[in-house]
Structure 1
Amino acid sequence: MNLSAVLPLKFEKGKTNSFEQCKLLFQSLLKFGQNLHFEEFLVVTPKQDMASIEQELELYSAHLPLRFIDEKNLIPDAMNRKGVGGWRKQQLIKLAVSSIVRSTYYITFDADVLLKNTISNEDLIINGKALLQHQHKSVRPLWWKGSAEILKVDPEMDTLGMNVTPAILHTQTVQNLKNHLSQMEGRTWINQLLLSYHGLPKSLWKKSIPWTEYSLYYLFLSNLGKLEEVHQLAKKPVLVSSKSVWSTVDFDQWDPTIAFQQDKVPFLVVQSNKQIPIENLRDKLSPYLN
């Protein structure tokens, strides 16, 4: 089954240095992704960063079908809007790419994801259905309640939802979701989602409503009754390892050997916003990625 990938990326130094961390993602894809074939690998960046990012990632272009996209072309309504920061732009980008993706499914990446086991497309898309890793909605209840409010559906908080990046999305379903959002009140889907942000007339401002791309996607698909038409549902980890690192304390005590050699779930997250020094991260990971 054909599969594409999307990675929102910004060129930055200091702070979380997610750009340097993304090189570890690409190293992991080269080491463990020999049987993983992407129709396209979309790297979505601010225009001012694109030349630098293309140059820095040139090494990986020989092995991966990288295509660099100006974020402004995907999410024009979100540009120069007060309060729309990097995390929110990433979420919009992961929905917006469905308009240009040519494959049936696409997988979402962030710079802090790693591939740690050898896998193929057939391991991720089984009998034409993409893996979807469940997570209970009680883990992040505000996301589910906010998304349900936007979609005007019942959040069904006592049921399972889906986990976060990396996730595999059905391209046509994301398109249908965006069309649905646009038809709700006659705005573009981006403006519909950004009603709680500055930029539209004050009369349209609403109390801030939390949402994510995944909670919107899952609720939309679930309410259509089509989850199992396009996804293989899994209650246990099948995409994101439980051996992921979510804090600096986790990292200090983390043994990569367990994650890379004993745990068979393909992807790992070492969360970039915890400001783990990139040198420390390289030191721990280099024996497994080189």
Structure 2
Amino acid sequence: MPEEHVFLDRFTQQLVDPNKDLLTILLPILPSKSELGYVLNQMRTFSRFADMGSILEYLIITPHRYRRELETFFREQLPEQVPGIAAGKFRIVTDGDCIPEANPDFQWYRDPAEYWWNGWLTQQLVKLACAPLVRTPFYMVMDADIFAARPFSARDLFEQTPCTDGSAVCDSKQEHQLRAKNDCHRLYGDERDQNLEWWENTALNLQLDVKLDWDCMPGVTPQIMATHVSLQLGRWLESRFQTCCWHGLLLDIGDRHNWRRGDEGKLWSAPWTEYSVYFLFAYHSGLHSAFHVDVRNADEQILQDWASWKPCEATFGLGRGHMSLVQSRMELDPAAIWQRIQNCWPDSSSEHQGEDQAELHAQPLITNTVAGQLEHADGPLLMHAKAHRHALDNGSSTR
């Protein structure tokens, strides 16, 4: 084992009931009218299509000043509007519960207003930093604009193979190993590929040199993460950069990255993202294959114009994709989206019946509907994310 991996905890095999204790949904939100409207759409569709008993809980994350407002929404208002959703399914926490630097009482509190990118980075960071609050071996990061489009249970989102002594997560009878299906897609390696920039910036800023298959790279939200991997990520960052506070380290990296770009006359860019940090570490540490399996085309793009979109045919009628979304950046009224989709429910014969696993393996996790036009160029299939291994301005964060 490489010297820098000695500090890593060897995972102890977790035995769970995959019908109720396998998955948590992690949802960072702000209580704006549109955001809550999207959440309402999500819950209406999840109550219809998702086996909510198979999801342990929703972990709702918000800035501290909104906690009480969201507690009222999720525990009182939402159950009234969606009777099939139990108030006890939701646990509200603040970003300060996960990230000390986001807590106003913390001595090194970072006000998001100080630099506008602090708020953006904090929203990325909570998806990693809230892992200690997760009570299941896996959690799925969600956005509010996602809605369910096909019957599913948490178990359908995992590959099940025979459990062995080396398996990280197995069912309580130790018959099946459970690994999260994560969508992967091709990166094209030209200036239009923003995802490539995210991966390169992350490798550079974390000083990593990881061989990656550019033909099958993890996608974006929704994405399933392993709680153990996120916990080990924090330990690895603190060990590698000799700091006590890995949350502050990633925020400091963001500051330095963009100060440096500003000095060079360049525009702001993402120094890292939650998924590029998580998966680069998972590959680097060798933990990825214990908790994840790549599934090509699990994120399927069906690009349609809003005006001509017929969701009952194009989204719900195809029977493809457990979930879908209308991009929130289009700033459409959630009520207008609901008006389009509310009559698209299939008959009761399509309720979740635990379809054949081989068939489910090929099904996309999410169908991304009504997005902007994508243009792809050919590029290399295999590249290296090379860290140039120059030190950060001050070597490391030393808090």
Pick the TM interval, shorter chain.
0.7 to 0.9
CA distance in 2, matches of 1:56, 1:172: 31
Deviation at 1:280, TM superposition (A): 2.0
Residue-by-residue CA offset, 1:203-239 (whole Å, 9 max, x unaligned): x9654652111111111111223322211211122xx
CA distance in 2, matches of 1:10, 1:250: 27
Identify the residue that residue 21 of structure 1 maps to in structure 2: 38
Please state if 1:31 is matched with 2:81: no
CA distance in 2, matches of 1:235, 1:177: 25
Please state if 1:136 is matched with 2:160: no
Aligned sequence identity (%): 25
CA distance in 1, matches of 2:340, 2:249: 43
Larger radius of gyration: 2
CA distance in 1, matches of 2:99, 2:307: 38
Contact 1:181 1:189 in 2 (8 A): yes
Please show how residues 206-225 of structure 1 align to structure 2 within 5 Å: 206-207=260-261, 210-225=271-286
Contact 2:51 2:154 in 1 (8 A): no
CA distance in 2, matches of 1:241, 1:26: 22
Runs ≥4 residues deviating over 4 A: 155-158, 204-209
Q: 91-100 or 57-66: which moved more?
A: 57-66
Q: Which has the higher helix share?
A: 1
TM-score norm. by structure 2 comes to 0.64
Aligned residue pair count: 277
Q: Which runs of 5+ in 1 are unaligned?
A: none
CA distance in 1, matches of 2:52, 2:95: 29
Identify the residue that residue 140 of structure 2 maps to in structure 1: 107
Q: 2:155 aligns with which of 95, 109, 122?
A: 122
Please state if 1:67 is matched with 2:128: no
Contact 1:36 1:119 in 2 (8 A): no
CA distance in 2, matches of 1:287, 1:71: 37
CA distance in 2, matches of 1:30, 1:259: 18
**Superposed CA RMSD:** 2.5
Deviation at 1:158, TM superposition (A): 5.5
Identify the residue that residue 275 of structure 1 maps to in structure 2: 331
Aligned to 1:261, what secondary structure does the other structure show? coil
Aligned to 1:176, what secondary structure does the other structure show? helix
Contact 2:210 2:284 in 1 (8 A): no
CA distance in 2, matches of 1:282, 1:209: 33
TM-score norm. by structure 1 comes to 0.86
Look up the equivalent residue of 2:285 and give its one-letter code. L
Identify the residue that residue 4 of structure 1 maps to in structure 2: 24
Q: 151-160 or 91-100: which moved more?
A: 151-160
Aligned to 1:80, what secondary structure does the other structure show? coil
Please show how residues 1-290 of structure 1 align to structure 2 within 5 Å: 1=18, 2-13=22-33, 17-34=34-51, 37-58=54-75, 59-60=78-79, 62=86, 65-78=89-102, 79-81=110-112, 82-127=115-160, 128-138=178-188, 139=193, 140-154=195-209, 156=211, 159=214, 160-187=216-243, 188-198=245-255, 206-207=260-261, 210-237=271-298, 240-243=299-302, 250-257=305-312, 258-288=314-344
Contact 2:49 2:149 in 1 (8 A): yes
Contact 2:210 2:283 in 1 (8 A): no
CA distance in 1, matches of 2:228, 2:260: 29
Contact 1:137 1:158 in 2 (8 A): no
Residue-by-residue CA offset, 1:175-199 (whole Å, 9 max, x unaligned): 111211222223322222122455x
Deviation at 1:174, TM superposition (A): 0.8
CA distance in 1, matches of 2:129, 2:58: 15
CA distance in 2, matches of 1:170, 1:206: 33
CA distance in 2, matches of 1:242, 1:64: 34
CA separation of 1:87 and 1:31: change in aligned 2, threshold 3 A: farther
Q: 94-103 or 179-188: which moved more?
A: 179-188
Contact 1:137 1:157 in 2 (8 A): no
